[in-house]
Amino acid sequence: MNIILLGPPGAGKGTQARHLVETRGMVQLSTGDMLRAAKDSGSEMGKVVADVMARGALVTDEIVIGLIREQLNTVNAKGFIFDGFPRTLAQADALTELLKNEGESLDAVVEMEVDDEALVARITARSTCGGCGEVYNDNTKPEPVDGKCSNCGEAGKFQRRADDNEESLKTRLMEYYKKTSPLIGYYYAKEMLTRIDGLGAIEKVQGDIAAVLDK
């Protein structure tokens, strides 16, 4: 089963994708994670995208479609979770084609709805474990005082994303509304869209997504 988690930055896509990886053995394809890895490795492509990402703008369709193309031939019986991809209509069309070439298709699109004020509050309070990707929040789930990640136990790995600041966030939200939100109508028309409330407790959201997958 192949699904897209669709939603603005801070909607909780990464957290939910990781849960599906752990519980269902699905494979998470996060273009944001791939781009950050390229940036950290200092590759040519990483250098090209670094500035764009820091500003909160979208990198080109060509680059992200190329990243997804490279991953789709991974042997994987449980399906892919597309997290942060597609973000434009051109990427959505490319995804349909890429899956078709692999003899696959998309089964569901889950839109995680969260209001803008909650997004800003979430993102500016967010930190992540660099070891395993566990997400923390200064208000609702602070980093453990012993400095060790509660999920993987690694010490001193907490990081804040360079683009998790109010300035970049404004651009990221604008990009979402201008370029990504048309995908809601696109997948609705294809009868693939299910909307869920992304603001509930993590377990509630997990249950809502499971209901879509098990339908």
Q: What is the set of active-site residues?
A: 13, 87, 126, 161, 172
Least separation, in Å, of the C-beta of 46 and ligand AMP? 12
Q: What angle do CA 29, 34, 36 make, to 5 degrees?
A: 140
Region near ligand AMP per CB under 6 A, out of 51-59, 98-106, 126-134, 146-154: 51-59
Q: Which is nearer to ligand AMP, 37 or 211 (CB)?
A: 37
Question: What's the token pair of residue 24?
Answer: 């269902």
Q: Which is nearer to ligand AMP, 59 or 193 (CB)?
A: 59
Least separation, in Å, of the C-beta of 65 and ligand AMP? 8
State the DSSP string of 124-173: HTEEEETTT--EEETTTBPPPTTSB-TTT--BS-EE--TT-SHHHHHHHH
How far apart are alpha carbons 58 and 80 in whole angstroms?
A: 22
* 39 part of the interface to ligand AMP, by CB under 6 A: no
Among 11, 58, 109, 119, binds ligand AMP (CB under 6 A): 58
Amino acid at 166: E
Number of residues that bind ligand AMP (CB under 6 A): 17
First to last CA, the chain: 12
Among 9, 12, 133, 198, binds ligand AMP (CB under 6 A): 9
